[in-house]
Structure 1
Amino acid sequence: MIFIPLPFVIALLLLILFVAVIRRDEEAAPNWPFLALILLSALQSTLSGLRWGYGVQAVGVIAPVTAAMVPPLAYAGVSRLVRTSRRPLPARIALHGVPAALILILMAVWRDAIDIALVLVFVGYAAAILLLMRPGADALRLAPFEGAAPAYRAIIFTAAALCLSAVVDTFVFLDLASAHSERALTVISVGNLAVLVILAIAAAAASRSRPPAETVETAPRPETSEDKETIATIDALMDARKLYRDANLNLDRLARKAGIPARQISAAINRAMDKNVSQYVNDYRIGEACRLLSGTGKSVTEVMFEVGFQTKSNFNREFRRVTDMTPVAWRQRKG
């Protein structure tokens, strides 16, 4: 009977996930760092299978370097949804290549410090991702409003997975350093594989650029006269130009059309309405959807596309949030 280590099976599933994401996003600009993260996770799983399934010790030279590339790719993928970097591409590649270069140097001069360095890299990038997400839902300036919540949750899961990997590596390091290292292999095979799967799935979900989750504010601040002017300007754009019908509308694009800084728009809506910008825009969409459902004979799907939604799941979720009922139930109730 042919023995196929679990890491090889997981690597195959991750490759299938990669192909599925490519096909899904073939009509849109792909998030290359997230796609690379999925492929790198498949490679890491394969290396794990070779080392621990077949005893190929040579892969131990490659695995730490590729592992050091995982957090920078996750951060780069998140950055593409948050902001456009002002640094040129070569400078960004050089900056995020520092962890892999550091591991290469340590492999030559101080191998015992590699595990500690990897833990610091994973924790550092996890903290950097959470720092990017500090503004909450509206941090995803380049993600379309129509689909933001899963992307936000996936990014948080990505940061959590990086922290989990750091915990696993720390445990393995301490276990191997002790006199009894019986649990190290189990933790490596189960813990690291679980982290790779979580990272790949989170990357696939975040690359969809779906709407961010709700912003949680510790203490709402009173609105100002500037907030009222900002909201009045945005309301006028929504009413006159029907911007919410644009399925690709995001905070960055809204800010450019209004001539107002994105941070100012986000802060004004958060303070005055106690909601994030994606909810504010989707409120307009659902308002028009209600009018179309009750006043026309258009199908639910036609209404969904006309008001700016692209998927039924997002449309139904936001419709329930605003009206506490489904679109079909609304139409039936309104006659």
Structure 2
Amino acid sequence: MPAIPLPFVVALLLTILLIRVFLQDRTLLKPVTLFIGTCILLVVTVGLRWTIDAPWVRFLQPVMAALLPPIAWLCFARLRQPPALRSWPHVLAPVAILILSCLWQRWQAPIDLILALLFFGYGAALVRHGHAGPDQFESVRLSDAQGARRAVSVIGLLLICSGIIDLLIAADFGSHQGSHAAVIVAVGNLLLLPVIAYAIAVIGRSVPDDEPLDRSGRARTVEPEHQPNEAASASPTEEDVGIMAMVETAMRQKTIYRDPDLTLNRLARRLGLPSRSVSNAINRTLGRNVPQLVNEYRVREAMRLLGETDLPVTGVMFECGFQTKSNFNREFARVTGTTPSEYRRAGGAPAGETSGSTA
């Protein structure tokens, strides 16, 4: 079988990506470097498998493959920062694959099938993770929560596709002695790099500068005495009304929405409340999520600046707390039904007439 240099090319490009992420030296991105490093080792192992095909490479490849799904989960699940993220259960699957690889000469276990199920399971969990509400992503910028959700879903889909590719390769060896395996591996590697690069770019843009950390290395948050099972009930409580008064004071008087790095965690710390309590109060009282509310305050301020000042649209965007023009235009259109430029050309309107009002 001819050598396949493509995996090594992909590994080189991923190494460049790894260096760039590492040099950013941001706490929330450090786990991402572990994910990229695992991808590099896996791609190199695959390349060696199809070039020298040594016994030790055949032994190592499934073990490296088994590491990728749990590492992907542990890396990207940190964006939600659940109360307790235990790592040790995720080591069980790679250890099991290691044992099965050691016993291969005595018992040829269905390692390919187990790996595929592992990729499918973690991939589906990440896709479900990405479809959670934007309030669940406590550590990303509120203006970029949607992009972070998509990136996590994309990584989940990548794992599912990898599981499919493993099954296709196993089926090809079973029916055609691996005559199509080289093409399948090449296609898989072509899909790998752009997907990872996209997801890492979005995540890197979505996480703010380092949060204050506690001794465990986690961002400091105010934890509730108990964590409710349901995100929100049918109607707001008296506590929700009090929390909303605090939120409105922070927004109107302290204008914390101007902070481009504002996250749910940062907002909750400013209020001295658990992030889940803040999220639930906004959901139950207004029927909206936290990013929507914060962006509505930003849009109302943008409307005022567009109508009362000569600042360029880009300057207005940054002044209000938005980081990217696409987010600014999308949220402005959601609240006002028009674009910032069209709004200014039309002469503007009182900001209080927008749907961004919390009244």
Q: Deviations over 1:113-142 (max 9, x none)?
A: 322221232223224334544642211011
Query: C-alpha separation between the residues in 2 aligned to 1:200 and 1:70?
Result: 16
What is aligned with 1:96? 90
What is aligned with 2:299? 286
Q: Which amino acid aligns with 2:161?
A: L
What does 1:23-34 correspond to in 2, within 5 Å?
25-26=24-25, 28-34=26-32
Query: C-alpha separation between the residues in 2 aligned to 1:134 and 1:313?
Result: 21
TM-score by length of 1: 0.82
By how many angstroms is 1:179 displaced? 6.1
What is aligned with 1:11? 11
By how many angstroms is 1:271 displaced? 4.2
Q: Deviations over 1:265-309 (max 9, x none)?
A: 323433444432111101101111111121123333333232222
Q: Which amino acid aligns with 1:101?
A: V
Query: C-alpha separation between the residues in 2 aligned to 1:108 and 1:4?
Result: 27
By how many angstroms is 1:69 displaced? 1.6
Cα distance change, pair 68–200 in 1 and its aligned pair in 2 (3 A): farther
SS in 1 for 2:311: coil
What is aligned with 1:59? 57
Q: Deviations over 1:56-90 (max 9, x none)?
A: 56422222222112112211222221015646xxx
SS in 1 for 2:79: helix
What is aligned with 2:70? 72
By how many angstroms is 1:156 displaced? 0.7
Q: Which has the higher contact order (CA 8 A, sep 6+)?
A: 1
What is aligned with 1:187? 184
Cα distance change, pair 108–53 in 1 and its aligned pair in 2 (3 A): closer
By how many angstroms is 1:155 displaced? 0.4
Q: Deviations over 1:204-246 (max 9, x none)?
A: 42233269xxxxxxxx974334444443332222112212112
Query: C-alpha separation between the residues in 2 aligned to 1:159 and 1:270?
Result: 27
- Structure having the higher helix fraction is 1
Report sequence identity in percent: 40
Cα distance change, pair 101–204 in 1 and its aligned pair in 2 (3 A): farther
Q: Which residues of structure 2 form unaligned runs of 5+?
A: 209-231, 349-359
Q: Which amino acid aligns with 1:284?
A: Y
What is aligned with 2:263? 250
What does 1:60-139 correspond to in 2, within 5 Å?
60-83=58-81, 86=84, 92=87, 94-110=88-104, 111-130=108-127, 132-133=129-130, 135-139=132-136
| Counterpart contact for 1:34–1:207, Cα < 8 Å | no
**Counterpart check, 1:223 vs 2:221:** no
Query: C-alpha separation between the residues in 1 aligned to 2:321 and 2:242?
Result: 25
| Counterpart contact for 2:21–2:29, Cα < 8 Å | no
By how many angstroms is 1:103 displaced? 1.7
Q: Deviations over 1:31-69 (max 9, x none)?
A: 122222223223322332232245556422222222112
What does 1:152-167 correspond to in 2, within 5 Å?
152-167=149-164
Query: C-alpha separation between the residues in 1 aligned to 2:64 and 2:90?
Result: 13
* RMSD of aligned Cα (Å): 3.0
Q: Which residues of structure 1 form unaligned runs of 5+?
A: 212-219
Instruction: Give the number of equivalent residue pairs.
Output: 319
What is aligned with 2:339? 326
Q: Which amino acid aligns with 1:250?
A: T
Cα distance change, pair 72–196 in 1 and its aligned pair in 2 (3 A): farther
Query: C-alpha separation between the residues in 2 aligned to 1:117 and 1:242?
Result: 52
Q: Which amino acid aligns with 1:224?
A: P
Q: Which amino acid aligns with 2:101?
A: M
Deviates more, 1:284-293 or 1:98-107: 98-107
